[in-house]
A and B are shown apart, each in its own frame.
Chain A
Amino acid sequence: MVERLEHEVEAGTVPADGEAVQARLIEILAEVAATARAPIDLSGEPAVLLMVGVNGTGKTTTIGKIAWHLSKEFGLSVVLAAGDTYRAAAAEQLAEWADRAGAELVRAEEGADPGAVAFDAVEAARARGADVVIVDTAGRLHTQTNLMEELSKVRRVIAKQMPGAPHETLLSIDATTGQNGLRQAKIFAEAAEVDGVVLTKLDGTAKGGIVLAIADELGIPVKLIGTGETLEDLRPFDPTDFANALLAPS
């Protein structure tokens, strides 16, 4: 990116003064951030969303927020699948969000097969004519091959219940994550065909610059950003705002 800017300045297409260069840099950053941009696909009946990510990046919270927006703002009926059967009280946490968002919850006991929970949820949603199913999964480090394999299996199981599903797989990335974020995205994309990133915890001082590398190198766009702990704190990603914020002094 810097090279490209240098070229343009040398070639004279961008005037060599500070402000113009910064403005052009923001444009370039925004352009990269906008790579492969596409809205979240809700055309499926029901549309199946799968949420994946490393531990503690905010998967469950994001699902709560998405469910709330879909049900309260778009009037869609939402089913949540408590696919995190590993962490203690993860299902209770999702139940609380389901309650707040007015969504239905499909869950199983701790230690149950996450694929089975996802399968049941999609089945239930189809039977009831629900509009959207959101499947939660346990947080996992991308270095754990067996857990990544489990994720691929959850995908396959969902596809068995409903061909073409999941229609949208979202990877949550914590804005404070450093260089490792790129590895996370790469390996999660290999295991679960990630369609988009949800950049969480942007309300801190972290700017989440790693998503630029993810968009640039892997062609996976950011779709949503999380900016707080309440249900409303979820927004569509705006590349220009993001680029501006990256360069703003903190």
Chain B
Amino acid sequence: MAGSKPASGNSAPARQPSLWVPLRYFMAAQGAFIAALLWAPFQVSDLLDFYYQGHDLALTHLLTLGWITMTIMGASFQLVPVALETTLHSERMARWQFWIMLIGVTAMVGHFWTGRHPGMAFGAAFVLIGVILFLINMGRTLWQLARWDIVARHVAAALAYLAATAILGNLMALDKIYDFLGGQVLRTIHAHAHLAGIGWVTMMIFGASYKLIPMFSLGELQEERPARWQFWLLNLGLLGLFWALLLQSGWVLIFALLIAAGVGLFLWKMLEIFRTRRRPRLDWGLRHALSAMGYLAVVTLLGLWLATGWLPGEEFGARMAFGYGVLALLGWVSVMIVGMMYKILPFLIWHHRYSDLVGLRPVPPATQFLGELFPRMEFWLLHAGILTTVAGLILESRLLVQAGTIILALAGLIFLLALTRIYRHLVPRLTPLPEVQTAKGQVRGAPSNRIPGLSPRI
């Protein structure tokens, strides 16, 4: 990096991976999300059916693996240099991993849908290989760190839970063929889902938030200790919850309470960061993040209620559990990821296209890539769709689920439009830069010209 000589010895700037390392993950993930949202209105009967069936599992894994896991993997490759001030261990491994994951997820989702277990197990094995590559890459990257802060701890824990989830998932896939786990399928699913949702996904989001939310809002994480308590509460609670769910023990409630306490601490720290922020206006990225945290609070309370077992009937309990799961997947995780994409994508693409042109040509600021109209429409449609769909699932209302999924499909289309607005900056023909007029009336476009006295205004 020409000219940068840091004052203290160990301040070499972290090298960012090339654009396509994270970007191919993001694009595939966004494709999966939009596909799932467009698909949902045609799945109403299946959604109102019991959740442990092929079509629902296909849709669920399209979201959990295709959308959520691929996004987090791509984001990890991008954020690790920023958050941990180090360099990704291997870009090539990240490339291989992408294709393996793509094949694995497609095979899994396809075979869930058709109910062909061997094909699904094959897909699951591919996903496990992809996960192992990811663990090696991230593990070696983390190993380079001199000190593990709160972000690194969350990332490390999330990786461990990802491994456990993938292994358990593969065992469940093989069990469909060889039948060796003892038949308690539902308990295993609940355990698997919470390991994934809390251990892998929520843990990663928490870790990233401690770095990104202060950065984006210009707020401050004042005291790290509550964050560390949150980390331990979440871990202890989840480890206990996993076994309690598997064994269907009454201890579920105790561990759920520990998790709820951890979540409460996280939300408290986030509120503190928002309260101290120097950036009064909340952009659409931050608005999504804030509303996602609202869903997290509701999901946590719902989870606690389910853990008490005080439900008016088993059937209602099953519907409630499904509604709780959908609210967590869409309301907490997906809304958060959409918000983070609105922040990360313009930044990534701006850097790729424009950073070398600063001072030579007038370049648009990254903050203007997204615009106002599309994220606003998508925001309200997504929330309306989520709430309507979840209400419909819990109340077993076909009308609400149909309406809700149609609204979600619309939200998906608008999200696609918003993404197109950002991605078009990758194509110079679609986003030409204005020519610069010199003081003498000549048009300057080539970067190599040196015109004394001229500072092009952005």
A and B found bound together: no
